[in-house]
Structure 1
């Protein structure tokens, strides 16, 4: 089975700490010659059968500009069986997942200081004493809350039904040139087997609030005693200080709309216009995640991909009831390059499946056989 990689391996972005995984990197999978699944975007249209250089995976364009496979025109000229791209939902259904993670930390600190001193003077006929007391109380509080919500929906794949055939030039490279290593260095070591159709929606909300209160009291006491009178008085000097601040950061994306949000706001009051706007954006992104399956199926219908078994009556395609005994053939539909282009540009292609070219039977044939070209 293909192994998925994290989005940061295909797009150089910072990872979400709440969604971290132990999935291997693209380069690690390529070294082991394993199938790879990479996330995709609607800005670049790549068709099944195109070659990929894993060693160039972190460059702007790792896709090969030349192909070792015969094209559709050559297939017609030679009378060979044309390659087929099909939409396939092998299990007759769809799959979806929803994950919500929350972490919270609270730090509270209380600090109290108190000290004083006293001085006394005795003059015989009278005595005087004075004291100064200082009290300080500091209270701090820090709250951090992080919430991550992820929705994922898959409704099938567009795949090559049979592997494309090699050109004579590619066969010669394998048999008489530099072999498999030279072939992969020239054309690419992976080819695009197909797309995974669906959508992803992820959002992370991070809030931080801090508060501080400081109270100080200075107490001065004076006492005078004599033969004729006594005097005593006490006075207080009080001061207080308090502050509070909070910050909110919202990050997220929606693959179907190709929308990314990354907003942060700090405020000292209980509410601001910017804070209200961020709340609305957060609610909107959350709603997009909850309606992801409906939006994916509607978008697929708009671009011309029917996701459920159909029966054709005249020029009309009519949906029929699903059955657990529906044969796989009923869930397979031919797909052309025009539909592939619409699928990619619509945002429905969320992942691309890459297969090592050395796994192709035709590649292994020309490496091991003694046939003369």
Structure 2
């Protein structure tokens, strides 16, 4: 292992020098168990502002609000303890929407997630019973549209039997971690070195970075869509005229299908981040295939768009995972620039890390549900533009 770790920087230097290219910084592929150190300044996330509804709704657990500096949105978490019919759930959600708008008339959008109180374990646990998204422009008509069954930003859980629960990965992406033998690890490090030097998709279906000869970078968001953060991310990108690739968790897409359609309608790109956000190397071939295929099928059914790209949850993968991924027609996308937004290091730290690692062909890793990443996003896009970079999708790096 020590010898292979020394060979790779030498190979990088030789290949990059031969092409007259300054290599981008790519997270080094690590053996299992090796974790990125906690960044200086890491801190707990700042508590979000909450609204008080009048009159109060007993089943509303909390209503949080957040702004991207341009618009403000709210998310109401509703936890009924009694068993309610679909019509009763819809009435409860609609009432929560109207009272939230009354509590803060300046909101651009109110989103609602209704879970069964007895089984609620947070976002990413058992799925909600119902979700609803109401932009202020549709506030006046939403009740009538829901009653007639024509409202397109409402999702109700079907009557299928509950699936066997798979525990989602709570840790977010840090550095790519390859699970395999020493020989397999060396081969992966060689693939990374070659991908770094030349850019583009490697024959094995790996994308480490784009071409180093163009001032173009890919902006990617993992773990989408989140009902509070996602609308703000999308609005920020629209204002900047930038596009991104969203690596979507299947169960999130299932519960918030209208957000997935928003991604495509706004000109962004969808990527596969598995259905349950689980570490794939620990699963059987059949389970890996199901995690990937189920998500791809869902995203295609919702949008009519093919899914070409995949990012492994937690950055963990293996030769077996890559083979299955490749057989499913997916390209595995890594990253060159991780500002660590999920560690809540502070907006200034996120911005400084981004600017320091920005270079041609880079792939930027952000998260759909990170407060510091959201707050830093306008300045990140501004800095990239001032330095002459085109900010786009992972797919744009392969063309």
Flag whether TM exceeds 0.5 (same fold): no
TM-score interval (norm. to shorter): under 0.3
* Rg larger for: 1
Structure number with the bigger relative contact order (C-alpha 8 A, sep ≥ 6) is 1
Instruction: Judging by fraction of residues, say which structure has more strand.
Output: 1
